[in-house]
Amino acid sequence: MTPKEIRQMIREEKWTKPTSGLAPSYAQANLVVLPKDDAYDFLLFAQRNPKPCPILEVLDVGDPRPKITASGADIRYDLPRYRVYKDGELIDEPLNIEKYWNKELVAFLIGCSFSFEWALLEEGVPVRHIENGRNVPMYITNIQCVPAGKFRGPMVVSARPTPFNLVVKAVLITSRFPKVHGAPIHIGYPELIGIENIMEPDFGDPPVIEEGDVMVFWACGVTPQAIAMQTKPKFMITHSPGHMFITDIKNADLAL
């Protein structure tokens, strides 16, 4: 099925589950929707922190239709599930956001690590959490993002145990994908970036580490959501974890 066909199925609410594994050669995106008043600072935060917050597309104010990443799509309907927050509190997890949409909202589509995991797998670098059918382990680090207005806080990273003889290859492959987090931000010593217990991630599942694996850390798209949440915005909509927006952009086309 093409991304367009999958989005249609989602729009008709025939698919309401996570999107992992759907149209695997196409980029999926995280969604953050904020009122116009917060959009400038959030866009600036992304500009200042491109590794955790690589923007694929910012939709026009009040317009739910992407122009760059997916033609004919509508982000009010085309994700399987959403989260709606008022004053930082979760108030709804609807299948569409028609009733919440208004002309003052701005939608941000943010690159997702699915794309570079696809590239790693294509080029023979194993990805342990995929092999084991788990969620990727994610950690809050001691690395502070560059603040922008009220948006400030630590970077969240995802970890992928990588065979020691493929670590350099993993760096080179992912460096070609700056729009989906790019090269790693740390290799080898979790304690140096403030991670005390590698087996106790802050989000996701504990890592599966095989003999000879070295821990490699990438900036994670959970960062902007976590930081937006912390500011308790008057109103915010995100995708529900794992329920992403499937674009028409091939992962391969995101490469430098």
Site residues (vs a second copy, CB under 8 A)? 39-40, 43-44, 46-48, 55, 58, 60, 67-68, 146, 149, 175, 178, 182-183, 256
For the bound state, the minimum distance from the C-beta of residue 63 to a second copy, rounded and expressed in Å, comes to 12
Contact 254, 27 (CB under 8 A): yes
Q: Which lies closer to a second copy via its Cβ, residue 32 or residue 183?
A: 183
Q: Which lies closer to a second copy via its Cβ, residue 94 or residue 147?
A: 147
Q: Among candidates 41, 40, 7, 42, which has minimal Cα distance to 23?
A: 7
Burial grade of 46 (CB within 10 A; 0-12, 13-18, 19 or more) = buried
Collapse the DSSP code of 108 into the 3-class scheme (helix H, G, I; strand E, B; otherwise coil) and give the result: strand
Q: Which lies closer to a second copy via its Cβ, residue 59 or residue 244?
A: 59
Q: Which lies closer to a second copy via its Cβ, residue 44 or residue 209?
A: 44
Cross-strand pairs, 83: 238
For the bound state, the minimum distance from the C-beta of residue 61 to a second copy, rounded and expressed in Å, comes to 9
For the bound state, the minimum distance from the C-beta of residue 58 to a second copy, rounded and expressed in Å, comes to 6
The DSSP symbol for 91 reads E
H or E segment at 121?
helix 114-122
Contact 247, 234 (CB under 8 A): no
For the bound state, the minimum distance from the C-beta of residue 47 to a second copy, rounded and expressed in Å, comes to 6
For the bound state, the minimum distance from the C-beta of residue 44 to a second copy, rounded and expressed in Å, comes to 6
- Within 10 angstroms of residue 144's Cβ, the number of other Cβ atoms is 11
C-alpha 121/C-alpha 123 separation (Å) is 5
Q: Which lies closer to a second copy via its Cβ, residue 47 or residue 142?
A: 47
